[in-house]
């Protein structure tokens, strides 16, 4: 098993952000063929969910966010911290909101994707590859032990698991 990922490189951020942009761009393209207004709404929903909800509820507890300095993680690089870091685990309410927002981002473009079957296939394939890639290559070495998707085995976790359920430098 790989070492815990205590620090990311800029190339990691470019890779995973690029992977995440593929299904978003495919969905936006299918939507733009039908309605510019709904495409704009979709882009605003994606931005609001990621910079508002995910960043506020999920990322502010991650050890990569709570480190000193600017954020340097999978999806954000050299970004100033928009919200103060928070200690503690995700609450049941947080998990419900995060799951709901994730489902919203995935399902929102489906009516337009159904009008463009090849776009739907590419969207589903890209989203599946993104999810399985993250699960396979990142969740197994992630230092955010409070994340419900973390799959680092107990014997690989440090004994000092006090803050955020994760790694601290």
- Each domain of the chain, given as residue ranges in start order, spans 10-156
What tens digit of pLDDT does each residue of 32-88 get?
999 999 999 999 999 999 999 999 999 999 999 998 888 999 999 988 899 999 988
Written as one string, the DSSP assignment of 80-104 is: --SS----SPPPHHHHHHHHHHHHH
The helix/strand/coil state of 19 is helix
Which residue in 82, 93, 74 sits closest to 48, CA to CA? 82
pLDDT attached to residue 163: 44
The count of other CB atoms within 10 Å of the CB of residue 30 is: 25
What tens digit of pLDDT does each residue of 83-108 get?
999 988 899 999 999 999 999 999 99
Mean pLDDT within 18-34: 98
Question: Is residue 31 a contact partner of residue 39, using CB atoms and an 8 Å limit?
Answer: yes
pLDDT attached to residue 87: 86
């Amino acid at each position: 098993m790989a070492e815990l990922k205590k620090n990311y490189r800029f190339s990691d951020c470019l890779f995973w952000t690029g992977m995440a942009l593929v299904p978003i761009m495919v969905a936006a393209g299918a939507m733009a063929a039908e309605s510019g207004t709904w495409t704009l709404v979709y882009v605003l929903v994606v931005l609001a969910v990621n910079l508002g909800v995910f960043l506020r509820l999920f990322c502010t507890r991650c050890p990569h966010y709570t480190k000193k300095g600017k954020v340097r993680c999978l999806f954000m690089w050299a970004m100033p911290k928009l919200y103060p870091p928070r200690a503690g685990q995700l609450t049941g309410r947080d998990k419900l909101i995060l799951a709901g927002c994730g489902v919203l981002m995935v399902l929102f473009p489906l009516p337009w994707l159904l009008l463009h079957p090849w776009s739907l296939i590419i969207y589903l394939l890209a989203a599946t590859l993104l999810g399985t890639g993250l699960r396979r290559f990142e969740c197994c070495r992630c230092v955010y032990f409070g994340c419900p998707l973390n799959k680092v085995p107990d014997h690989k976790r440090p004994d000092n698991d006090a803050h955020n359920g994760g790694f601290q430098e």
